[in-house]
Amino acid sequence: MPAGKQLREMFYRAYDASLITSFLGRLVAISENERRSVSGFLGEGIHFQSFEVECSPMPLAVNVAKASFSQRGEAAMARWEDAIRRARSLEGDSLIPPMDVVKASGLTAIVMPKGNLVSQGGDRVIGSMLLETSRALGQAGLVLDDYPQVREALGVPFIVDWSDLTSIGKNAR
Ligand SMILES: Nc1ncnc2c1ncn2[C@@H]1O[C@H](COP(=O)(O)OP(=O)(O)OP(=O)(O)O)[C@@H](O)[C@H]1O
Ligand SMILES: [Mg+2]
């Protein structure tokens, strides 16, 4: 089985929306500052904090939007979620991982496979895949307006940072 297909199959076996919902329910009770000490905290950027959730057969990353991101307003959030869902329909195309948006307890998160740092030598392959990915996104009326951050799972590279995904052109809303 191609590695990308295997990654998708394992992701959907591991992904249980109700488990993520209860994880978010626990997270909402503590401040963003305290969330950095939660076991499984993977890292953060300006807009998201990422947590590993143990699932079988593979660990998942739950990237939770910080208040600075979700407080941009309902319309902006709805546009971003719509863009993520459209990117999701391209999953398996180049560097687009299987992923989903989960909203619970007032928090918004993207769930995807937990990725490891790309091994040396992987960088060359990724260079050409980045071009393919931006073409695929562009055809769907999407643009990722950020330097793409790539990790890998089961040897399959994928972009982990989707905070700056936006709609463009005739499909923009
Ligand atoms: N799928 C994943 N697997 C492993 N670690 C991850 C994953 N997704 C995110 N991370 C970790 O969490 C960090 C923050 O996630 P992300 O880059 O999505 O946040 P961000 O706020 O959008 O960042 P930036 O400010 O750079 O745009 C990443 O730098 C990475 O270390
Ligand atoms: Mg980002």
State which of 44, 69, 166 you would mutate to test the pocket of ligand 1, scoring each by most atoms of that ligand within 8 A of its C-beta.
44
Give the pLDDT of residue 171. Answer: 47
CA-163 nearest atom, ligand 1: 22
- The share of the chain scoring above pLDDT 90, in percent, equals 84
Would you say domain 3-171 falls under CATH 1.10.510.10?
Answer: yes
Model pTM? 0.95
* Confidence at 11, pLDDT banded by 50, 70, 90: very high
Structure confidence by residue, pLDDT tens digits, 53-65: 999 999 999 999 9
**Domain ranges for the chain:** 3-171
Residues 125, 13: Cα–Cα separation, whole Å: 28
Q: What is the dihedral of CA 87, 25, 150, 44, to 10 degrees?
A: 130
Query: Which residue in 71, 18, 52, 46 sits closest to 163, CA to CA?
Result: 46
DSSP 150: E
- Rounded to an integer, the average pLDDT of 94-105 is 96
Residues 68, 71: Cα–Cα separation, whole Å: 6
SS3 for 24?
A: helix
Give the pLDDT of residue 169. Answer: 59
